[in-house]
Amino acid sequence: MKSNFSRKILEYLLVVGIISVAATSPLFLYRLAKIMFKESKYKQKNDYEKFRSAFYYLKRKGLIKIEEDGFDIKIIPTEKGIKIMKRYQILELRIKKPKKWDGKIRVVAFDIPNIQRTKRDAFRRKLKELGFYSSQKSVWLHPFDCKNEIKILKDFLGLNNKQIYFFTAEKIEDKLLLEKIRSAYRI
């Protein structure tokens, strides 16, 4: 993707869905930038020009579409734009380590059929990348809260609740396994 501004625009649209801006003003892009980056670090003079360039880049690439609706302009992410943003979301997926461990173990078990082998292998690779500990081939453990990350991954791969099981274990009786997990995560 062309710039960080392009990603920020798509991320924003992914969260809010549609942006509607009054089109009566010739400065509608400036107003849009103000809305989107209100809480952001993008406040320098040349940031508007970068935003404008990124906006038109996204439009040219077919990642957003602009529709007129009376006196308003609606900016909508396209399917292609949503797909690209979700891919970035998966690439940047991380599990945050809390200051203090709650003593619980998160368990992800999956039963993905052989006809979806590519998805199963991708899911397993991402679990490994996220720092999960493999208890068995299809049972993975992690000490920190990761329910949202698993949901994002499950949705991205098009898997369902009958294929991916997520639960939290209050206690693990296997002291050796618990010690391996504590050692691996330095907790």
pLDDT tens per residue across span 15-41: 666 666 655 555 667 767 776 666 455
User: What CATH number belongs to 94-185?
Assistant: 3.30.70.240
Residue ranges in the chain modelled with pLDDT below 50 = 39
Q: For residue 148, which of 95, 111, 92 has the smallest C-alpha distance? A: 95
**In the chain, which segments carry CATH 3.30.70.240?**
94-185
What local confidence, expressed as pLDDT, does residue 154 receive? 93
**Residue 135: phi, psi to the nearest 5?**
-85, -40
Share of the chain above pLDDT 70, in %: 82
- pTM equals 0.68
**In the chain, which segments carry CATH 1.10.10.10?**
4-90
Average pLDDT, the chain: 84
What local confidence, expressed as pLDDT, does residue 28 receive? 66
User: What CATH number belongs to 4-90?
Assistant: 1.10.10.10
**Burial status of residue 167 (CB atoms within 10 A of its CB: 0-12, 13-18, 19 or more):** exposed
What local confidence, expressed as pLDDT, does residue 67 receive? 82
What local confidence, expressed as pLDDT, does residue 12 receive? 74
What local confidence, expressed as pLDDT, does residue 66 receive? 83
